[in-house]
Amino acid sequence: MRAIIVTNGNAPLSLPPNFANTSDLIVAADGGLEVVEILGLNCDIAVGDFDSLKKVELLNNVKYQRYDRDKDFSDTELAIAYAKDQGCDEYILLGGGEGRMDHLLGIWGIFKNYGPPICWLTRQDAMYLVTDKKQFKTSVGETVSVLNSIIGSKATVVCNNLKWPLNNFIVTSNHFSLSNEATEGKLILECKEGSVFVVFLSPREEF
């Protein structure tokens, strides 16, 4: 099963066609419920303390679980944990960070507990998880970065469709491929060990 987790911070304002049809469950984390409304998604449940939800009336039309504001888990983590409890073995993350470094790193940190999302979309970036071998449509000169998917993890990747090819390139938290450039209309990246995020500046229609 696949879930879409919707958060409030820096979330995309639009999605690729039929994007929501790829999921079995949609969970809003706190103010992510307002993003759900903007994107026209059908939310199954909202979770959180709802301290960042400005349009509280949205709670009248959706199932929700309210938590105390003094808690040990972020609203995003509660949403991911809920999806996992419902049997979802993979998830897509929309938004995250709100421009705050502590929130951004906090989200990245919980991937170690729940596994990274197969896709992470913000207003500026589109990140896709690669665990073995994957192909993406690109354009020549398009910016591509390769980052580790879990803080502290290590991965080995191969990708020759780049201006600076990656041949058994080691990806860690302090060693990665930043602002590389695609040289063809497709990008083929193989992850021989671990997993990585391939980062584009716009979402792919298929992944």
pLDDT tens digits, 119-154: 999 998 999 999 999 999 999 999 999 999 999 999
All residue ranges of the chain with pLDDT < 50 are none
The domain spans of the chain are 2-124, 127-200
Return the half-sphere exposure (C-beta side, CA atoms, 13 A cut-off) of residue 32: 35
| 127-200 has the same fold as 2-124 | no
May I ask the CATH class of domain 127-200?
mainly beta
May I ask the CATH class of domain 2-124?
alpha beta
Give residue 53's pLDDT: 86
The span from the CA of 162 to the CA of 168, in Å, is 14
The span from the CA of 38 to the CA of 115, in Å, is 27
Give residue 176's pLDDT: 96
Tokens of 121: 């979309």
Residue pair 130/195 in contact (Cβ under 8 Å)? The answer is: yes
Give residue 182's pLDDT: 97
Give residue 97's pLDDT: 62
Give residue 69's pLDDT: 80
Tokens of 43: 């939310």
As a whole number, the mean pLDDT across the chain is 92
141: left (phi over 0), alpha (psi -120 to 50) or beta: left
Give residue 16's pLDDT: 85
Give residue 98's pLDDT: 66
Q: What is the pLDDT of residues 80-91, one digit of tens each?
A: 999 999 999 999
Give residue 13's pLDDT: 86
Positive or negative torsion for Cα 21, 22, 24, 29: negative
Rounded to 5 degrees, φ, ψ at 53 are -85, 110
